[in-house]
């Protein structure tokens, strides 16, 4: 697949079911079948922050009644730490989906640098230390998380850790 933005060859990001352009950082989805993998409901209004990946204005959305900001282009999510813990806790408790086998983290994901949409400072990139084997971006100053498309669902349906 060629990038719709610059025409370069895109690379498949298997764990997230989308294509990534290494030249212009564009993200493209092969179809809309997985558009709501993270369970986001669009609320139709624009937020006040820009996407740290695409740089376009984030839109307001909701997951299980909790407000989030989402990017209509890359489908990433911005939410505060407390809302994330509340939503993911409820979802994991009520989930009837069978757990998915967690895939190993791609070390390349740890090399990304994103600016916080709230304060414009550098976000920390690190593995999520719960089930799911995903790399997340967080801003300790603003108490927000950035989750790429599919990361929320990967955490939700991950097998419980054996402590």
pTM of the predicted protein model: 0.79
Domain ranges within the chain, ordered by starting residue: 1-34, 36-156
> 2 is written with which tokens?
């060629």
47 membership: H or E segment, kind and range: strand 41-50
Task: From 146, 106, 147, select the one nearest 122 (Cα to Cα).
Answer: 146
* Tens-level pLDDT at each residue, the chain (163 residues): 888 889 999 988 776 677 888 888 778 877 654 455 678 888 888 989 999 998 999 999 998 888 899 998 888 999 999 999 999 988 888 877 777 777 788 888 899 899 999 999 999 999 887 777 889 999 999 999 999 988 888 888 877 665 4
CA–CA dist 4, 114 (Å, integer): 22
HSE-CB at 130 with a 13 A cutoff on CA atoms is: 14
DSSP element (H, E) containing 67: strand 66-70
SS3 content of the chain, % helix, strand, coil (to 5): 15, 30, 50
């Amino acid at each position: 697949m060629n990038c719709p933005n610059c025409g370069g060859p895109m690379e498949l990001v298997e764990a997230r079911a989308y294509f990534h352009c290494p030249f212009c950082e564009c993200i493209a989805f092969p179809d809309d079948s997985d558009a709501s993998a993270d369970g986001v409901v669009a609320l139709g209004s624009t937020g006040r922050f820009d996407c740290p990946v695409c740089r376009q204005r984030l839109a307001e959305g909701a997951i299980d009644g909790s407000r989030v900001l989402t990017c209509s282009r890359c489908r990433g999510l911005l939410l505060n730490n407390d809302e994330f813990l509340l939503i993911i806790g409820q979802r994991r408790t009520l989930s009837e989906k069978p757990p998915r086998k967690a895939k190993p983290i791609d070390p390349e994901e740890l090399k990304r640098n994103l600016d916080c949409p709230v304060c414009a400072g550098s976000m920390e990139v690190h593995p999520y230390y719960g089930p799911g084997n995903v790399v997340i971006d967080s801003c300790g100053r603003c108490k927000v998380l950035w989750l790429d498309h599919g990361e929320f669902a990967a955490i939700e349906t991950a097998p419980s850790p054996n402590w």
